[in-house]
Chain A
Amino acid sequence: MMKSDIKLINSEGKRLDGRGPEDLRKIKIESGVLHRADGSCYLEWGGNKIYAAVYGPREAVPRHCQNPLRAIVQARYNMAAFSVEDRKRPGPDRRSVEISKVISEALERVILTEQFPRATVDVNIEVLAAEAGTRCAGLTAAGVALVDAGIPMRDIPVACAAGKIEDQIVLDLGKLEDNLGQADLPVAISPRTGEVLLLQMDGHLTHDEFDKAFDLAVKGCRFVSDIQKQAIMHKYQSVVATEVQE
């Protein structure tokens, strides 16, 4: 089958997986899933399966990377060798280094780094199964893991992408939509203030289309933000309940 034969949106306005233009894929978030980490999160977003773990604040080593005025935030995005169709060579490549950098910078904005001079907050994001939108899913998981670790923050960061397929603006691109679509716009925000923490775009959008896609991505972020909060509440509410029972 030729790739260009694939209709990403059918005559009834439905996408390949049956979603409407403004529908997200299925999202599942669990917080506090790993034993060793100070805070952790497991997230499924469509076919993506991601773990995030937070260690810190702890002493930053080597010393020369310490900041005497605030903590540094070191996010590390890594994909498992078996997370994609063709095996990925283990270890960082240029793509994962870039994603690690933009996620670190996004998280640094919300963490109260001034409270922990010379320290580091390490955020490890492991992608076990990848299916488009892993940077948004990873950042969203990191937000929950940071809360689980008790890191003081201004807000819980959240991310979601919008894009353009078949000349239409849609929310949360799936794998084929990402490969064959016309544009992808991942956005991370601080939902309380609406500040934009991460913004990337590739493809081709008119100014109007950008405005529409951006608003849609923010709308998606707000929806995902509610799921994040439920996941966190779920963990800590149940902890309180068992204590009462005993």
Chain B
Amino acid sequence: MTITPAIKKDYITKLAEQGKRVDGRSFDQYRPIEIETGIVKQAEGSARVKIGNTQLIVGIKMGVGEPFPDTPDCGVLSTAAEFVPLASPDFESGPPREDAIELARVVDRGVRESEVVDIKKLVMTPGEKVWLVFIDIHILDYDGNLFDAASLGALAALMTTKIPIFRLLGPGGGLEKSDLEAWYNTTKIQDIYDLYSTPGFEEFIAGNNPEMAKNVKPVALPMTEPPISCTAIKINDYVRFDPSLDEETIADVRLTVATDHKGDLRAMQKGLSGSFSREEIQKVINGALVNGQEIRKQLYAKIGK
């Protein structure tokens, strides 16, 4: 637990009465956001996101395996967050604490419920063989607003993921040419067909044509339009977006709103023990729509969409 001295709280609330924030931002304004993708080549997709001094890395790993018995016609999506002690003097090693689990679950819900990743298209043989997608959030520097940074990082990493077909083909990898054919038959994704019908594919599997991997288009994750998460907190009746760590520590209440490209709402999470009025919720939604559009533009520009 970070102890923000009473004097700091006083300072933050006094400034708020004049309509100001400690770092000079307006109440609706985000800190500078930086997105960088493809930073870990061992991962299928990866992204580094900075919001002000907050910094984290999201990595995507994939494998093949069995679906959950209750969803035999869906791929498996799993999200985990590590609050490693590198990122803050208050983080300790050990099993994930409840805040790490909340973060992972909020990001997971943002990805799953909004169907950003079309998990129905990650099925090769229903009930038997599907793709597994692991989203791992690794926090490097904690200066507030992990929710937005983690969701944005997950999106950037997923949107740049290349499905590791070549790595998993062949002995021990668990993937066969017949799986690719079955996968194409359920999804009709053209890239899959192009891949296994490329001349020389059989020789590649047999290990005689390693060059082929360089010449085919990688298969991307089947994605839909992503919703963008925006978080606001309230301190003494003043609502502000993208809280810094100091603001977050003394916040009464927090609300995360995810909005999509059409301006519809796709996910919400209220946190902390304070409360919002109906008007304040409207204010947060409106701010989330405006900031969400800006962040979406930046994300698309970065991943070349």
Q: In the complex, which residues 89-146 of chain A have their Cβ closer than 8 Å to any Cβ of chain B?
A: 90-92, 122, 124-126, 128-131
In the complex the two chains form, is B93's CB within 8 Å of A80's CB? no
* CB atoms of A92 and B40 under 8 A apart: no
A81:B40 contact, CB within 8 angstroms = no
Nearest chain B CB to A61's CB is how many angstroms away? Answer: 9
Q: Majority SS of interface residues in chain B?
A: loop
Would you call A122 and B138 a contact (CB within 8 A)? Answer: no
Shortest Cβ distance from B52 into chain A, in angstroms? 9
Known contacts A34-B55, A36-B142, A81 near B85 by CB under 8 Å: no
Q: Give the Cβ gap from B284 to chain A, nearest Cβ, in Å.
A: 27
For residue B84, which residues in chain A have a CB less than 8 angstroms away from its CB? 78, 124, 126
Query: CB < 8 Å: which of B42, B61, B140, B210 contacts A130?
Result: B42
> Most A CB atoms within 10 A — which of B39, B60, B140?
B140
Q: Which of B43, B141, B207 is A82 in contact with, Cβ under 8 Å? A: B43
0/1 per residue, B21-46, Cβ < 8 Å to A? Answer: 00000000000000000011111101
Residues of B within 8 A of A80 (CB): 40, 57, 59, 82, 136, 138
Residues of B with C-beta under 8 A to A81: 59, 61, 80, 82, 134, 136, 138
Asked if A214 is an interface residue, CB under 8 A from chain B, the answer is no
Interface of A is mostly: loop
The residue on A at minimum CB distance from B48 is A128
A91 to B83, CA, bound (A): 11
B136 near A35: Cβ-Cβ < 8 Å: no
A-B CB pair tally, cutoff 8 Å? 101
Specify which chain A residues have a CB less than 8 angstroms from the CB of B93 in the assembled complex: 76, 78, 92
User: Is B63 part of the binding interface, using a Cβ–Cβ cutoff of 8 Å?
Assistant: yes
- A-B contact sample (4 more), CB < 8 A, given A85-B167, A87-B61: A80-B40, A82-B43, A87-B136, A91-B95
CB neighbours (8 Å) of B143 from chain A are 35-36
Tier of interface size on chain B:
20 to 34
Minimal beta-carbon separation of B221 from chain A (angstroms) = 15
Q: Which residue of A lies closest to B60 (CB)?
A: A82
Chain A residues within an 8 Å CB radius of B136: 80-82, 87, 90
Which stretch (A9-17, A47-55, A63-71, A201-209) binds chain B?
A: A47-55
Known: A82-B43, A83-B42. A128 touches B86 (CB 8 A): no
Pairwise interchain contact A34-B57, C-beta atoms closer than 8 A: no
Contacts of B167 in A (CB 8 A): 85
Residue of A nearest to B142 (CB): A36
Asked whether any CB of chain B lies closer than 8 Å to the CB of A58, the reply is yes
Cβ-closest 8 pairs across A and B: A82-B59, A87-B61, A124-B86, A82-B43, A35-B53, A81-B136, A53-B86, A129-B40
Mask for B72-100, Cβ within 8 A of A = 1, else 0?
Answer: 00000000101011111100010100000
How many angstroms from the CA of A36 to the CA of B141 in the assembled complex?
Answer: 6
Question: Can you offer 5 A-B residue contacts whose CB atoms are under 8 A?
Answer: A81-B61, A81-B80, A82-B44, A82-B60, A131-B42
